[in-house]
Amino acid sequence: MDSLTPATSSQKEALLRRYGATGLSAMGPAMGPWNEVIATMLDHRSVRGYRPDPVPAGTLETMVAAAQSAATSSNMQWTTVIAVGDPAKKKALAEIAGNQKHIEQCPLYLCWVADMTRNGMISTEQKVEFETMPWLETFMVACIDVALAAQNAVVAAESLGLRTVYIGAMRNDPERVAKLLGLPRQSFVVFGLCVGYATAEGAGEVKPRLPQSIVVHHDAYDGDAKAAARKAYDGEMATFAARHEMQASTWTQRVLNRLGPIKSMNGRERMRAALAALGFEVR
């Protein structure tokens, strides 16, 4: 990979888009290593407007090969991918997700399943009790496995000029999603993923993130308030929000809106009950 062309000229611009002027200046003049792989990731934005054009043949297979290449805890490979093409199912899934039309519009819609059924079948077949299955830890590992896999698929798609958006709202009603997709007991859709080519209006732009001074700590958690850094980020997000007519102006306000009232969970406070109904004890 050392042969990849350095792209120093665009590195500063990419970091500027990702951190804003205040976040970038806080990083100092030194620039870390850089290449096209990293540039691809820095350019990520979630896209909610798709052209009807299909993805190139073999795109799903390439994305899945990337996904399966991610680390998987003890090689247990808990991930299953369901590609949903049936328009009626996509429509129903879009409704569950609060009418997110891009689920219907995108040419490739993937449901990422924490599949504890497949390995569980080995228990039945070999008549060996799997004592590790009912625990929160094992369920968490399955969800983390799925996330690592899906993120590789996202990077693969974006490297091909495609765009994506995760659909966490599949968890608004896990039981109905499971029924629509015919999931067996102990399988659960962690999230959906839209894949396709962005429309001009849907292309969006890179969203600024918290400065690294808040996110990276050394040797121990740094509990200092860093209120100044967060205020600077609030300013970056307010500028971004104004350009995109978003409701909440600052990040602080967005956190208040999203984490304050339970109604913003859209029913997902039912998760434990939903998982129990799907055969997960999460003890």
Footprint (CB under 8 A) of its own copies, residues 240-269:
251-252, 254-256, 258-262, 264-265, 268-269
Q: Does 187 bind its own copies (CB under 8 A)?
A: yes
What gap in Å lies between CA 23 and CA 192, rounded to an integer?
31
Interface pick for its own copies out of 9, 126, 201, 245 (rule CB under 8 A): 126
Interface pick for its own copies out of 21, 140, 203, 277 (rule CB under 8 A): 140
Q: Does 282 bind its own copies (CB under 8 A)?
A: yes
The CA–CA distances, whole Å, from 244 to 74, 101, 163, 247 equal 43, 19, 19, 9
Q: How many CB atoms lie within 10 A of CB 15?
A: 18
What gap in Å lies between CA 228 and CA 231, rounded to an integer?
5
SS3 (DSSP) at 147: helix
Interface pick for its own copies out of 7, 16, 26, 147 (rule CB under 8 A): 147
2 Cβ partners below 8 Å, 6+ apart? none
Binding positions for its own copies, 14-43, rule CB under 8 A: 15, 18-19, 27, 30-38, 40-43
What gap in Å lies between CA 177 and CA 187, rounded to an integer?
11
User: Smallest distance from the beta carbon of 27 to its own copies, in angstroms?
Assistant: 7
Report phi then psi at 100, rounded to 5: -85, 100
User: How many residues at the interface with its own copies, by CB under 8 A?
Assistant: 130
Binding positions for its own copies, 62-91, rule CB under 8 A: 62, 64-66, 68-77, 79-86, 89
Q: Does 228 bind its own copies (CB under 8 A)?
A: no
Q: In terms of CB distance, is 200 or 215 closer to its own copies?
A: 215
